[in-house]
Structure 1
């Protein structure tokens, strides 16, 4: 099974929405239609190069997504890269789609001169963490949120 990763395109909105909805449901969350529309618009807008999305495809069918935000960091001169959302449909897990998406983010960060890529996951996401433990370094930070 060959995985292709490519930039999100305006014509992907229906498939993207289904993937992101499934991702949000996994985390027992949801967003309004306005957030779907606004987020998608930002992810495909060439005037906002610091925020973008990628799609993983197998045989031309979208099986995964990743959202990326490049932003300044007070401890670095260069930007850092936040991999905000990563999702692969259950039937495509174990095919390399998740790894391919993360590696594509690494490549985009490198091309941007952004050496640091980070993301968050919930502790219970054990299957994804098996991949993350192989391709990234677990940090001791704990997230707080208002």
Structure 2
């Protein structure tokens, strides 16, 4: 297997969508056509902060990563945040996830950013085994206020 990591391209839509639907299902999240098309428009727009890379094996897209820069006020620099990372189930354990993270790291280094960060579900043990090998688990706890469903 020879994995190439490259930016998403216009012709990738249906293969990307197939993987992104699997990602949404993995997290038990409803992915509507409207949400998918909006995200795709972000990923393919030169002037949007959200960016996407895909892992390609031959002519098959086998993984994806969506990322964006963010400000780090206390560090007086910027970082790169991985919003979504997914590898086709049949390709797991073959280094695809690590290759996508390495590509994110390389992009951050090329841009002079200070950190690459991401989160995962507490029970996603398979992914965490990869993440523990490439990054440092932090002590931060994540909170959110869901403005669509209302706040507590």
Give the TM bin, normalised by the shorter chain. Answer: over 0.9
**1:32-56 C-alpha deviation (Å, 9 max, x unpaired):** 22221111111111122x3210000
Unaligned runs of 5+ in 2: 146-152
Q: Secondary structure at the match of 2:72?
A: coil
- The alpha carbon displacement at 1:7 in A equals 0.5
What are the residue-to-residue correspondences of 1:89-104 with 2, within 5 Å? 89-104=88-103
For residues 12 and 77 of structure 2, the distance between their equivalents in structure 1, rounded to whole angstroms, comes to 31
Unaligned runs of 5+ in 1: none
**1:82-103 C-alpha deviation (Å, 9 max, x unpaired):** 1010000011011111000000
Higher-RCO chain (CA-CA 8 Å, sequence separation at least 6) = 1
Q: Verify: 1:143 aligned to 2:147, yes or no.
A: no
Q: Verify: 1:38 aligned to 2:5, yes or no.
A: no
Partner of 2:148: none
Partner of 2:2: 2
For residues 110 and 50 of structure 2, the distance between their equivalents in structure 1, rounded to whole angstroms, comes to 15
Q: Normalized against structure 2, the TM-score is what?
A: 0.91
Larger radius of gyration: 2
For residues 78 and 31 of structure 2, the distance between their equivalents in structure 1, rounded to whole angstroms, comes to 28
Q: Normalized against structure 1, the TM-score is what?
A: 0.95
Partner of 2:86: 87
What stretches of structure 1 move > 6 A for 4+ residues in a row?
none
Q: Secondary structure at the match of 1:79?
A: strand
Q: How many residue pairs are counted as aligned between the two chains?
A: 145
For residues 41 and 8 of structure 2, the distance between their equivalents in structure 1, rounded to whole angstroms, comes to 11
Q: Secondary structure at the match of 1:72?
A: strand
